[in-house]
């Protein structure tokens, strides 16, 4: 929805006038390359989208947080002195988890009437949950600072970490930091080269020499929590334990080079675990190579690494599945497509494709038709712009 419409809806629901309304927003993300590396202390290369969560809200004078969304009938009323007790909500747990994590860190949570509007499609693998978390963190942290008379700007990396903590501890999904970091720290037209070992980062202009980024949503519903995501994490932990026997100084898989891995991989006694670790080590290396290619203006080479990333996620990490593979296979048949891969956790969600602008219409028609024929699902396509990270929108 347009911001004016969200504000009108807020006023219809909560009454009052516009004068004391505040607006906060934070985007979803696309990860260009570096998948399932973040929780291994590796490299990622995500970018913030212009699709986002927008919160229109107003402070209250009591201890209540009231949550509503523009596309849901649910109304959640929570007591801020009791925030640990809302973990089982079907909707609202991300928001209250963030408020709870802020409170644990000493933030002064104030009551508020809130209306959420999400333009990141839910379950699309484009981090609708991180967008909600980071927007909520910015909102409550801003209100807390105002109440405490603190004037300094928010630390956006902290906002990302709080979003991740809410998802890990409150929602129960053991995700890494990539999504929240991209949502909080995104920058227009740039991707973020992030080292997840230490959160050091650099912006890199995502200059694709006129090519476009096309997102294709499988519309297969995936649920990270109950999926194989946590299983993959523990396989990586096991693999790292094997490798440590030969590399005792290493702190995480992200510390291990391709050469060190090749010299020690015989220590991994479990074949499945070996496949998973092979993906992580080579994917990490691909992030570095693909950024070099991008910096050299070699978009074809950049896109080649994108293709390799998908193939590795399909064959070694085994998180793609029929829907994502079908979208990628069909995409690669279209003239004008340079590269295509799944983005995010996998098991459903979306793909990202680098494509000549002139090929987009044909892509949407042919890939859409063939995808439906092969899977029975209807895909959605978005030509994506790269936007800024989370912030307050001043009216
Ligand atoms: C999800 C998680 C991220 C990351 C990706 C896979 O999006 O939230 O932390 O692990 O999967 O790269």
- CA angle at 38 for the pair 36 and 39, rounded to the nearest 5°: 90
Supply the pLDDT for residue 226.
Answer: 59
CB of 154 within 8 A of CB of 142?
A: yes
Provide the pairing of β-strand 64-69 with 112-118. Answer: parallel
What local confidence, expressed as pLDDT, does residue 225 receive? 42
DSSP label at 271? H
List, for residues 216-274, the tens digit of each pLDDT value: 999 997 655 457 888 999 999 999 999 999 999 999 999 999 999 999 999 999 999 99
Q: In whole angstroms, how large is the CA radius of gyration of the chain?
A: 21
- Give 154's DSSP letter: P
CA of 39 to the centre of ligand 1 (A): 8
Low-confidence ranges of the chain (pLDDT < 70): 222-226
Q: Beta strand pairing status for 212-217 and 112-118?
A: unpaired
pLDDT at residue number 227: 73
What number does the ligand 1 atom closest to the CA of 129 have?
A: 8
Ligand 1 pocket check: which of 30, 40, 175 to mutate, most ligand atoms within 8 Å of Cβ?
175
Query: How far apart are the C-alpha atoms of 137 and 84, rounded to whole Å?
Result: 16
Nearest ligand 1 atom to alpha carbon 34: 12
User: How high is the pLDDT of residue 223?
Assistant: 59
The ligand 1 atom nearest the CA atom of 36 = 12
For tokens 């979306």, the residue is 350
Closest CA to 83 of 95, 100, 70: 100
* Exposed e or buried b per residue across 82-103, where buried means at least 16 C-beta atoms within 10 angstroms of its C-beta: ebeebeebebbbbbbbbbbbbb
Per-residue pLDDT tens digits for 14-56:
999 999 999 999 999 999 999 999 999 999 999 999 999 999 9
Name the residue with the closest Cα to ligand 1, atom 1: 345
Buried b (16+ CB within 10 A) or exposed e, 132-171: bbbbbbbbbbbbbbeeeeeeeebebeebbbbbbbbbbbbb
Cα-based torsion angle of the residue sequence 392, 125, 225, 273 in order, rounded to the nearest 10 degrees: -130
Kindly give the number of the ligand 1 atom that is closest to the alpha carbon of 229. 11
In this structure, the residue with its CA closest to atom 2 of ligand 1 is 175
In this structure, the residues whose C-beta lies within 6 A of any atom of ligand 1 are: 35-36, 38-39, 175-176, 178-179, 344-345
Going from the Cα of 224 to the center of ligand 1, the distance in angstroms, rounded, reads: 9
Mutate to test the pocket of ligand 1, among 132, 165, 179 (most ligand atoms within 8 A of CB): 179
User: Quick one: which of 299, 308, 305, 242 has its CA closest to 274?
Assistant: 242
What spacing in Å lies between the alpha carbon of 17 and ligand 1's midpoint?
40
Q: How much is the pTM?
A: 0.97
Using most ligand atoms within 8 A of CB, pick from 31, 49, 166, 176 the residue to mutate for ligand 1.
176
Question: Could you tell me the distance, in angstroms and rounded to a whole number, from the CA of residue 78 to the centre of ligand 1?
Answer: 29
Cα(353) to ligand 1 centroid in Å equals 18
Residues comprising the chain, all counted? 395
Q: Active-site positions?
A: 179
- 239: part of which helix (H) or strand (E)? helix 229-244
- Can you tell me the distance from the alpha carbon of 298 to that of 95, in angstroms, rounded to the nearest whole number? 41
């Amino acid at each position: 929805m347009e911001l004016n419409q969200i504000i009108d809806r807020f006023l219809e629901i909560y009454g009052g006038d516009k004068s004391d309304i505040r607006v906060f927003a934070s985007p979803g993300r696309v990860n260009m390359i570096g998948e399932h590396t973040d929780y291994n202390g590796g490299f990622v290369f995500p970018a913030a989208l212009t699709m986002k969560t927008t919160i229109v809200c107003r402070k209250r004078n009591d201890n209540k947080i009231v949550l509503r969304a523009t596309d849901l009938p649910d109304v959640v009323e929570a007591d801020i002195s009791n925030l640990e007790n809302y973990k089982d909500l079907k909707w609202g747990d991300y928001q209250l988890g963030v408020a709870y994590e802020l409170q644990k860190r000493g933030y002064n949570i104030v009551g508020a009437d809130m209306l959420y509007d999400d333009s990141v499609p839910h379950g699309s693998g484009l981090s609708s949950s991180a967008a909600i978390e980071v927007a909520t963190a910015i909102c409550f942290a801003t209100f807390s600072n105002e109440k405490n008379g603190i004037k300094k700007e928010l630390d956006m990396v902290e906002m990302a970490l709080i979003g991740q903590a809410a998802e890990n501890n409150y929602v129960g999904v053991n995700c890494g930091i990539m999504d929240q970091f991209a949502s909080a720290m995104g920058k227009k037209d740039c991707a973020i080269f992030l080292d997840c070992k230490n959160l050091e980062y650099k912006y890199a202009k995502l200059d694709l020499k006129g090519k476009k980024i096309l997102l294709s949503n499988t519309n297969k519903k995936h649920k990270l929590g109950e999926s194989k995501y946590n299983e993959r994490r523990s396989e990586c932990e096991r693999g790292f334990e094997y490798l440590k026997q030969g590399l005792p100084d290493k702190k995480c898989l992200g510390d291990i080079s391709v050469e060190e891995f090749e010299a020690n991989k015989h220590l991994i006694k479990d074949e499945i675990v070996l496949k998973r670790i092979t993906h992580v080590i080579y994917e990490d290396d691909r992030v570095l190579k693909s950024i070099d290619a991008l910096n050299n203006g070699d978009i074809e080479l950049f896109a080649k690494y994108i293709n390799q990333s998908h193939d590795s996620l399909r064959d070694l990490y085994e998180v793609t599945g029929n829907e994502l593979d079908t979208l990628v296979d069909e995409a690669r048949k279209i003239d004008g497509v340079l590269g295509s891969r799944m983005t995010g956790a996998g098991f459903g969600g979306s793909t990202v494709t680098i494509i000549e602008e002139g090929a987009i219409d044909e892509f949407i028609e042919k890939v859409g038709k063939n995808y439906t024929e092969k899977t029975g699902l209807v895909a959605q396509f978005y030509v994506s712009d790269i936007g800024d990270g989370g912030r307050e929108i001043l009216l």
